[in-house]
Every structure is written in structure tokens, then in C-alpha cells.
Amino acid sequence: MYATYLRLGVPVWDGERAVIRAARGRLARSALRDPAWRDARKRFYREMLSHHADAQRLVAQFRL
């Protein structure tokens, strides 16, 4: 899923909302509207936010 995060094209200094918006744009319409996929959507968003937080920590650590 890290490759999916990279394809979102969100700069590392952007906030969590930008990540969610970009991730939502990557999902199919059927996945967005189907209540059966709700837990899967939440997992996807959380994973994208986790990768984004890791990237922000890396940038802060190496002061890029």
C-alpha cells in the first residue's frame, strides 16, 4: 500500500485532509457508496494517513 500512497502525489508537508481527499479520488465510485465497503474504506484511509505520518517523521528527522 505504500506504493499507493506515493501515487497520491500529496506533498509531505500537506495535512491529513489533503491525504484523505487524494485517497478518496483514487477509490471507485461503487466503493465509495456501498455501505458494505465502509470498513475497507476506513482501513484504506488509515493506512494512507499512517504512511503520510511516517513520511513526515522522516522529513523531520533528516530535516529535508
Q: What string of DSSP letters covers the chain? A: -HHHHHHH---TTS-HHHHHHHHHHHS-HHHHH-GGGHHHHHHHHHHHHHHHHHHHHHHHHHT-
**pLDDT tens over the chain, length 64 residues:** 999 999 999 999 999 999 999 999 999 999 899 999 999 999 999 999 999 999 999 999 998 6
pLDDT of 63 reads: 85
Which structural domain range is residue 31 located in?
A: 2-62
- If one counts the domains in the chain, the total is 1
Q: At 19, give phi and psi (nearest 5°).
A: -65, -45
The pTM assigned to this predicted structure is 0.90
